[in-house]
Amino acid sequence: MILDLKSLFDLVGESQEIACDLDFSNESLYGNAPFQQPVRVAGKIENRAGVVKLVFSVKSVLSLQCDRCLKVVERELDKSFEHILVTELSNEDDEEYEYIVCADGTLDLTELVRTDLMLELPTKVLCKEDCRGLCPKCGKDLNLGSCDCKTKDIDPRWQALSDLFS
């Protein structure tokens, strides 16, 4: 979604509301598609004393994979972001804000939201704190019960071999 902000950059006091649903269902992360549901974006762009500020919130339900058992779990997403929009960078030393450059007075809102969201996705996801994960041998979900792998004794012939090399 491309927003034309030329008049907003020109007119002090001008503002524009944003309310839209963005579709990121094709975005993938580590082989998963976290944005199965639309991302609701609500916010405002305002020119205050010549400074154009974008403030918005995103709401959605993320589909994320548990790191241990690989089950897909849903997590509510509710985050706010703000950016200062400029048509060109004038003072690169000022890094208090991350400036978004709208070179021709337009802003690709979809791309901006996409970048913000990707940085906000949790790096560690567990379906529950004490998820037991999958058995590394047989792949059984150990939350559903234990498997036979652990209880089996190591073959004595292999044991003799491992003794030899230790």
Residue ranges that bind Zn ion, judged by CB under 5 A: 66, 68-69, 127, 131, 135, 137-138, 147, 149
Residue with Cβ nearer Zn ion (68 or 83): 68
Strand boundaries in 9-137, DSSP class E: 15-22, 39-48, 51-65, 72-86, 99-101, 106-108
User: What span, in angstroms and rounded, lies between the C-alpha atoms of 40 and 57?
Assistant: 8
Beta bridge partners of 48: 51
Residue with Cβ nearer Zn ion (2 or 138): 138
SS3 165: helix
Residue with Cβ nearer Zn ion (38 or 133): 133
**Least Å distance between CB 143 and Zn ion?**
6
Helix (H) or strand (E) holding 112: helix 109-120
**Least Å distance between CB 62 and Zn ion?**
15
Residue with Cβ nearer Zn ion (18 or 127): 127
**Least Å distance between CB 134 and Zn ion?**
8
